[in-house]
Amino acid sequence: MATPVDRLFVHCKQLVTLADGPATGPRRGEAMRALGVVEDGAIAVKDGRIVATGATDAIARDYAAKEELDLSGFVVMPGFVDCHTHPVFAATREREFHMRCQGADYMAIAQKGGGILSSMRSVRAASLQELTDVTRERLWGFLQNGTTTVEAKTGYGLSLADEEKSLIALRDAMVDVPLRVSRTFLGAHEFPPEYREDREAYVRLLCDEMIPRLAKLADSCDVFAEPGVFDRVQSLRILSAARAEGLRLRMHADELQPMGGAELAVELRADSADHLGKISEQGIAAMAGSDTTAVLLPGTGFFLGKDIYAPARRMIEAGCAVAIATDFNPGSCHTQSMTLIHTLACVKLKMHPQEAIVASTINAAFSLQLDGEVGTLHAGKRADFVALDIPSWEAIGYAFGGNPVAMTIRDGDPVCINASDRSPDPFVMRRGGGE
C-alpha cells in the first residue's frame, strides 16, 4: 500500500540531496564534496516537509499523491541559503560603481560622504511605506534567483528611529513574500555624521538604547569591524550588549585590512565571521577549531575591483566551516544571484563545485542556526528546493551571467516560476515542450 502524501516531485534529471552526510551541522574538508546525487530523482512532500527522496521508480511505488509535478530536464537541489545580505536600502548607487571603475577607492568614496552614508541619507528620507515596498521587491528577487532562505541586515538608518524603521520595513515586507528570512540588526555599520566627532557617544547609543529597544525585531546583531570603522574594543562592546539582549552574533571581519576580526568572532562564539579577505593564519586556525562559520563573499572583491579574496582553499583544508553568500547591497556588491556567486567561488576562491553547493546550502543554514530545518533534502526538513535548467549539477556556476533558475519551491509550494516559455501552470510544467 502506497503511503499518502500531499505532493510528489518526480523525474528530476538529477536530484542533489546532500543526504550522503549528516542532516545537521557544518561540513568541513573532504565532507564538503559529498552531494548524494540521485539520477531521475523524486521528492515526496507532506505538510510542507520532505517525507522521502530517492529514485522516481521507488518513490512513485511507495508514495501516492493527488498532485504530481514532473520536473523532467531539471537539476533539483536544496534552495540556496543566502546568509549575508543588506536588502533594506532606498536608492541605488550606480554612480559610485562608475567612479570606482574610473579608479576611485571604495573607502575614499565613503570618507567623502558617499558609500554607506549616501544610503543612510536615502533611507532616512524614505517613508516606512516606501522602504517596505522596495524591500519587498528585493525579497522576491531572492526567490527568483533560487534562494529560499535569506539573512537580511539593516544598517542604513544609523539612528534609533531609522534603524527601527528599517527593521519594521523588513518585518512588514517579509509577511508578503514566501521567503524564510533571518533578521540582523546592523546599526554598527558606520558612524553617522552627527557622531563622527564623538564616536564613543554612538557606541553608547548602540549599546544602551538601540540594541535594548530594537532587539525584539531582530534575530542577530552584526558589526562592521574594520580599521577606520568599528575597532576591536567597540565591536566587542556592541556584540556583548547584543548578546545580553538575546541576539545571536555575526561580524564583518578582516575584509579589507587585517585586525584580528576572525579571532574576535571565535572568542565571542559568533555564528559567523564574514568577508575575511585579510584573515590571518591565527584567524584561520581559530576558526577551524570553532563552530563560527566563515562566510565568504567573492562578489564583493570582484565588484569593488580590488581582487581581495578570502583564502578559501587554506580555510577548507584547515577545517573551517565555509559558507558563501552574495553580500547583496547597494554599494559593494549589487547582485542577488547565488549562481553567479558559485561562478566566483570557483574562479576566484578556487572552490570545487561540490564545495560551493555545500557552502551555499547546509553550511550557510548552519550559520543561521537553521540547519535543522533547511539546507539539505533529508526527510523531516522543510521542502525548500530549486529546479535549475542546466545539464548537470556541475554546470551551476558554468553558464554565468544568466539565471538558470526555472522554479523555486518553498514548503513544497512552487512560489516562483521564471521560465517564460513554459506552462504557467506548474503542475503541468515540463522542460522544453517535448516529452
Examine residue 192 and tell whether it contacts ligand NIG (CB under 6 A). Answer: no
152 DSSP β-pair partners: 85, 183
Strands 147-153 and 180-188: parallel
Tell me, letter by letter, the H, E, C secondary structure of 196-264.
Answer: CCCHHHHHHHHHHHHHHHHHHHCCEEEEEECCCCECHHHHHHHHHHHHHCCCEEEEEECCCCCCCHHHH
3-state secondary structure of 53: strand
Examine residue 187 and tell whether it contacts ligand NIG (CB under 6 A). Answer: no
- Which cell numbers in the block locate residue 412? 513544497
Nearer to ligand NIG, 254 or 371 (CB): 254
Question: Among 164, 255, 263, 327, which residue interacts with Fe ion (rule: CB under 5 A)?
Answer: 327
Query: Nearest approach, Cβ of 328 to Fe ion (angstroms)?
Result: 9
Site map for ligand NIG, 221-240, x if CB under 6 A?
Answer: ---x----------------
81 Cβ neighbours under 8 A, 6+ residues apart: 147, 148, 149, 150, 323, 360, 361, 362, 364, 365, 368, 370, 374, 375
Question: Hey, CA dihedral for 286, 289, 291, 296, is it positive or negative?
Answer: positive
- Which cell numbers in the block locate residue 63? 508514495
330: nearest Cα among 115, 147, 100, 107 = 115
**Binding to ligand NIG in span 62-101, by CB under 6 A:** 86
Query: Nearest approach, Cβ of 84 to Fe ion (angstroms)?
Result: 6
Query: Nearest approach, Cβ of 189 to Fe ion (angstroms)?
Result: 8
Query: Nearest approach, Cβ of 188 to Fe ion (angstroms)?
Result: 12
The residue whose Cβ lies closest to ligand NIG is 331
Q: How far is 228 from 226, CA to CA, in rounded Å?
A: 6
Query: Nearest approach, Cβ of 186 to ligand NIG (angstroms)?
Result: 8
The residue whose Cβ lies closest to Fe ion is 327
Examine residue 263 and tell whether it contacts Fe ion (CB under 5 A). Answer: no
Q: How far is 85 from 331, CA to CA, in rounded Å?
A: 12
Nearer to ligand NIG, 8 or 158 (CB): 158
Listed ranges 261-269, 322-330, 334-342, 407-415: which one lies at the site for ligand NIG (CB under 6 A):
322-330
b/e per residue 76-92 (b: at least 16 CB within 10 A): bbbbbbbbbbbbbbbee
409: nearest Cα among 429, 394, 392 = 429
* Contact (Cβ atoms closer than 8 angstroms) between residue 83 and residue 368: yes
In whole angstroms, how far apart are CA 90 and each of 118, 169, 179, 323, 341? Answer: 10, 11, 20, 28, 24
Length of the chain as a residue count: 435
**Binding to ligand NIG in span 239-278, by CB under 6 A:** 252, 255
Examine residue 384 and tell whether it contacts Fe ion (CB under 5 A). Answer: no
Listed ranges 139-147, 156-164, 323-331, 409-417: which one lies at the site for Fe ion (CB under 5 A):
323-331
Q: How far is 289 from 218, CA to CA, in rounded Å?
A: 28
Examine residue 135 and tell whether it contacts ligand NIG (CB under 6 A). Answer: no
Nearer to ligand NIG, 27 or 86 (CB): 86
- The vertex-315 CA angle with 241 and 352, nearest 5°, equals 125
Total of residues contacting ligand NIG (CB under 6 A): 13
Nearer to ligand NIG, 142 or 393 (CB): 142
Examine residue 355 and tell whether it contacts Fe ion (CB under 5 A). Answer: no
Query: Nearest approach, Cβ of 169 to ligand NIG (angstroms)?
Result: 16
Question: Among 14, 135, 292, 329, which residue interacts with ligand NIG (rule: CB under 6 A)?
Answer: 329
Nearer to ligand NIG, 78 or 114 (CB): 114
Examine residue 271 and tell whether it contacts Fe ion (CB under 5 A). Answer: no
Query: Nearest approach, Cβ of 166 to Fe ion (angstroms)?
Result: 15
* Contact (Cβ atoms closer than 8 angstroms) between residue 84 and residue 151: yes
Listed ranges 2-10, 43-51, 205-213, 329-337: which one lies at the site for ligand NIG (CB under 6 A):
329-337
Listed ranges 3-11, 243-251, 327-335, 404-412: which one lies at the site for ligand NIG (CB under 6 A):
327-335
Radius of gyration of the chain (CA): 21
Q: How far is 160 from 146, CA to CA, in rounded Å?
A: 34
Q: Count Cα neighbours of 181 within 13 Å in the Cβ-side half-sphere.
A: 31
Examine residue 426 and tell whether it contacts ligand NIG (CB under 6 A). Answer: no
A 10 A CB-CB count for 424 gives 9
Examine residue 371 and tell whether it contacts Fe ion (CB under 5 A). Answer: no
Nearer to Fe ion, 332 or 354 (CB): 332
Examine residue 332 and tell whether it contacts ligand NIG (CB under 6 A). Answer: yes
Examine residue 220 and tell whether it contacts ligand NIG (CB under 6 A). Answer: no
Question: CB under 5 to 8 A by kind: which of Fe ion, ligand NIG, none does 302 bind?
Answer: none
- Per CB under 6 A, residues contacting ligand NIG are 86, 115-116, 119, 224, 252, 255, 300, 327, 329-332
- Per CB under 5 A, residues contacting Fe ion are 327
